Amino acid sequence: MKLVLVIEMVLYFLLIMGTGFFFSRRKMNRSEFLLGGKKLPGWALAFSERATSESSWLLLGFTGFTFMTGLSAIWTIVGMVLGITFTWLVLAKKFMIETDKHKVLTLTDYLAARFPNHGNYIRVFATTLILIFFLFYVGAQYDGVGKTFLTTFDLTPTAGMIISTVVVIAVAFAGGFVSVVWTDMIQSIMMLIVLGGMPIIALIYILTNDISIAHELQAAGNGVDSWTGGVTGFAFGLLFFNNFSYFFGYLGGQPQLSARFMALKSEKDAKVASFTGIAWTFIAFFGSFFIGIMAIAMYNVSDFADEEVILPTMILDLTPPWIAGILVSGIIAAMITTATSQIMVVTSSISEDLMHKSLKIQLSEAKWVLISRVIIVIIGILSLIMAIFSKSLVLTLVGWAWAGVGSTLSVAVLLTFFWKRYSGIGVIATILSGLVGTMAWINSPLDDIISARFSTFFIALFFGIVFSLLFPEKREEK
């Protein structure tokens, strides 16, 4: 069985790296390497955006979370679906238009271009924010791959992390944004196969063995069989907001996702991409939820030292080796695609926003691409070190990045798009308060009560508004 799994895994890795190297044959300028040069179709960008966003946290973290908490995990799905739908229907086209208008390549550079009086400070602080939290985020993907390799092949988690690091660096290094998007598309389809197929396979097993899902949910106790988690009043309010709080990180503030919106080339492509992205979301998210629920009917909590290996365990238990190899590859696909996209975000922040725009370093296009590739290698290795020494769960690491970057920059994006009185000082206050607020919150007992994803959004919103009113933007008269 393991031989079949190994062969399919090797073939999968060769396919992914081969796709990356295929697109590396083209000679690229800085714009094409970092944002695809506005040449990619909308449907491919939508697949890429979805695969980039929903990574190890959805396949491993959220399935394990649902397994432990039961029906009340649905409020996480509600928050995410609403956030994603709003972003695709309202913000995606806005991103496309603003990118064309200001001729920018990154989210950070867009904010700086909108507030040129404080542009350099915005670039420096936003790059610092992204670098700090995305090391956690990429590390979470490596951690997820390590757990999957441990469950599937009995390899040490460190071995799995090293293998994934090599693949991630190879894909990003070879063809930049273009190769990442096309490998994302392959991996996005793999994720749909896993999340759409496994609930059906698990349901067939449950019905065949005459297992009652309702009975097993009730027997699990701890409010698993309740949509409110077995609590009422204020306690349910906290549960709801903590689960729903992922909503705030989807509102344009994730730079690896907004890059896909910025890369859209026409209004027609934006419409196709919106439909594709929203349809993918419903299939994948509810599939992940039902996997966790059916796992409650099939397993006991005591069967697992780590609940985040529920999905690979279910795949190995319910499918023949050749199918298991495909489905496990789909799990690894999610983590690798997210890691490559996040490394590209950090790379573009350092090379484009910090070195090119803030420090005014002038180099040829070829040298900028070379520097970007060197940064890819360095960030990939630093994230590996972070993953090896981190003791936190995948869901926890992703939650920190979601708060620090997603909730913070979502405020900056929304206020920039929709509030005329937002100022450059307000942007800086938003970023700094989000950074400091998240770090303080996750290192205090408060994070056990209210998620930093929720608190960071409103802390950043408060300081962004107050400082914009105190220090209004000085507009140049046209």
pLDDT tens for 168-195 read 787 777 656 777 787 778 778 888 888 8
Mean pLDDT of 62-91: 92
DSSP single-letter state for residue 61: I
pLDDT score of 23 more than 70 = no
Mean pLDDT of 190-218: 90
- Range from 223-237, 336-350, 400-414, 433-447 carrying the lowest mean pLDDT: 336-350
pLDDT at 382: 84
Mean pLDDT of 45-73: 85
Mean pLDDT of 319-326: 82
pLDDT at 478: 40
Please state the separation of Cα 223 from the chain's center in Å: 29
Average pLDDT, the chain: 83
pLDDT score of 475 more than 70 = no
Tell me the pLDDT band of 143, cut-offs 50, 70 and 90.
confident
pLDDT score of 216 more than 70 = yes
pLDDT at 300: 86
Query: 63, 198 in Cβ contact below 8 A?
Result: no
**Would you say the C-alpha torsion 471, 424, 417, 457 has a positive or negative sign?**
negative
What ranges do the domains of the chain cover? 2-392
Structure tokens at 89: 């229907």
117: amino acid identity, one letter: N
pLDDT at 273: 93
Q: What count of residues does the chain have? A: 478
pLDDT at 395: 55
- What's the burial of 377, exposed, middle or buried (CB within 10 Å: 0-12/13-18/19+)? middle
Tell me the pLDDT band of 207, cut-offs 50, 70 and 90.
very high
- Range from 101-110, 309-318, 387-396 carrying the lowest mean pLDDT: 387-396
Mean pLDDT of 144-155: 73
Could you tell me the CA-to-CA distances from 6 to 3, 309, 324 in Å, in that order?
5, 18, 11
Higher pLDDT, 424 or 302: 424
CA dihedral 362, 367, 372, 375 (to 10 degrees): -90
Query: 348, 372 in Cβ contact below 8 A?
Result: yes
- Range from 95-109, 127-141, 330-344, 421-435 carrying the lowest mean pLDDT: 330-344
Query: 66, 73 in Cβ contact below 8 A?
Result: yes
CA dihedral 193, 195, 201, 207 (to 10 degrees): -150
pLDDT at 477: 42
Mean pLDDT of 298-318: 84
Report long-range pairs for 369-373 (Cβ below 8 Å, ≥24 apart). 369/28, 369/29, 369/30, 369/33, 369/176, 372/30, 372/33, 372/34, 372/176, 372/347, 372/348, 373/173
Q: Which fold has domain 2-392?
A: Sodium/glucose cotransporter (1.20.1730)
pLDDT at 278: 94
pLDDT score of 234 more than 90 = no
pLDDT at 392: 59
pLDDT in tens, 248-284: 888 888 888 888 898 888 889 999 999 999 999 999 9
Q: For the chain, how many helices (H) and strands (E)?
A: 21, 0
- Range from 127-131, 188-192, 290-294, 389-393 carrying the lowest mean pLDDT: 389-393
pLDDT score of 313 more than 60 = yes
Name the helix (H) or strand (E) containing 226.
none
DSSP-derived 3-state class of residue 211: coil
- Range from 25-39, 340-354, 422-436 carrying the lowest mean pLDDT: 25-39
Scored b (16 or more CB within 10 A) or e, 296-305 reads bbbbeeeebe
pLDDT at 286: 93
Give alpha helix (H) positions in 299-404.
310-318, 321-348, 365-389, 394-401
DSSP-derived 3-state class of residue 224: coil
pLDDT score of 239 more than 90 = no
pLDDT at 386: 76
